[in-house]
Amino acid sequence: MKKFWALFFFFWPAVAIWCCLIAPANGWWFPGKAMSPLGERIDGLFYLILGIVIVVFIGTQFAIGYVLWKGATKPEDESATFSHGSHSLELIWTIVPSFVLVFIALYQMDVWAEFRVQSYYPEQTQEDGPKMEVTARQFEWRIRYPSAGEQLKNQPQPGDLYAVNEIHVPTGRPVKFNLRTDDVQHAFFAPQLRVKQDAVAGLIIPVWFEIPVAGEYDLVCAELCGWGHYKMRATIVAEPQAQVDEYLARLQGEQNFDGVVEDADK
């Protein structure tokens, strides 16, 4: 039985090594390719931390297994030795992890700043200003664009364009927008872009992302906001600027529709 427990603790790091070897090829657990440059850097951090955790996990598990095995194979009649511990060992396992943590804390700083600290947002977004306002609401996303050539204001303006659950953004440039909520707390989560930001009542939170490749990306709510939480699905459509302008012009046309359709034959 003693040997069983020693083997038991050897078993798990062996499983962990096996998983690490085959997981990338099978795409297990990993969130797919990030579709934004910042997302790739966030993934870089994720994999770095994952690597550190794997090394630590396997190391400590093998150490436990080794100690157990040593105890299990000792002759029964040999009495145990009593020790007050090892001062140098304690120093090592305190200082080494703290160096690792400080390293992670410093290493991630620029990515975090670019993601969250406004003054570190890409220059382009500072120049452009917010492109639209996204308002989370139980249970949908309402989008307000400024009219062509205008800057977005926090108060609705005459000529603003409104859409629901569909965001059109230009590809290949950082896009900033204002995130708000009408009611409870929601979270703007675009998994492929690695963007997740809570929408907090009373705050206007600027968020940015950049999508190099045209396509449709998911937007979901990542903060349990009520019984209809699952309904908060929307689409982020990334397309060249010209098509975004076309879309906004179409939206303008729909919004000004007065119900009178001119007969083409007339």
Partner 1 sequence: MLVKTNRQLSILTIGVTLVSLAGCSGGSDYPDGYKSRFVYSDRTDSLMGEAQNGIGDLPGVKKLVDDRFGDPQKLNAWLKLPIDFGGVTGELAETPDASVAVEELTLSFDGEVTKDGDKPLLLQFVTGKAAPSIVFVSNWLAEGGKASLTAAMDVPPAAGDQVVVNGGGVLAHGRGLYMRHCSHCHGTSGDGKGPTAEYLVPRPRDYRHGVFKFTSTDAQSKVSRDDLYRILRNGVPGTYMPSFVPMLQEDELVAVIEYVRFLAMRGEFERKLVNELASDYSEAALQSRKESGESRKDIVEELKEFLTDDMQDSLAFVSDDLAESWDTANSEDALIVPDCSRIEDSIASRRIGRELYLSKTLNCADCHGISAKGNGPQTTIYEKNPITSELYPDPGLHDVWDNVNQPRNLTQGIYRGGRRPVDLFRRIHAGIKGSRMPSFKKVLKHEEIWHIVNYVLSVPFNAEPGHAPVAVPDEPAATAAL
Q: Is 234 in the site for partner 1 (CB under 8 A)?
A: yes
Instruction: Measure the N-to-C terminal CA separation of the chain; round to a whole number of Å.
Output: 94
Query: Which two tokens mark 131?
Result: 């492109």
Q: Which residue is listed with tokens 């090592």?
A: 92
Query: Which two tokens mark 49?
Result: 């931390």
The residue among 202 and 253 lying less far from partner 1, judged by its C-beta, is 253
* Cα distances (angstroms) measured from residue 31 to each of 27, 40, 131, 255: 8, 11, 28, 38
Shortest Å, Cβ 184 to partner 1: 12
Q: Rounded distance, CA 16 to CA 94, Å? A: 24
Q: Is 165 in the site for partner 1 (CB under 8 A)?
A: yes
Q: Is 254 in the site for partner 1 (CB under 8 A)?
A: yes
Q: Which of 28, 76, 227, 265 binds partner 1 (CB under 8 A)?
A: 227
Q: Rounded distance, CA 34 to CA 41, Å? A: 9
Helix (H) or strand (E) holding 111: helix 109-116
* Selected range binding partner 1 among 87-95, 126-134, 154-162, 204-212, rule: CB under 8 A: 154-162
Would you tell me how many other CB atoms lie within 10 Å of the CB of residue 34?
Answer: 18
Three-state secondary structure string covering 205-258: EEEEECCCCCEEEEEEECCCCCCCHHHCEEEEEEECHHHHHHHHHHHHHHHCCC
Q: Is 265 in the site for partner 1 (CB under 8 A)?
A: no
Q: Which of 75, 85, 202, 259 binds partner 1 (CB under 8 A)?
A: 259
Shortest Å, Cβ 100 to partner 1: 33
Q: Is 258 in the site for partner 1 (CB under 8 A)?
A: yes
Q: Is 157 in the site for partner 1 (CB under 8 A)?
A: yes
Q: Is 196 in the site for partner 1 (CB under 8 A)?
A: no
Q: Is 260 in the site for partner 1 (CB under 8 A)?
A: yes
The residue among 142 and 173 lying less far from partner 1, judged by its C-beta, is 142
Q: Is 244 in the site for partner 1 (CB under 8 A)?
A: no
Contact positions vs partner 1 (CB under 8 A): 137-140, 142, 147-148, 156-159, 162, 164-166, 227-228, 231-235, 252, 254-261
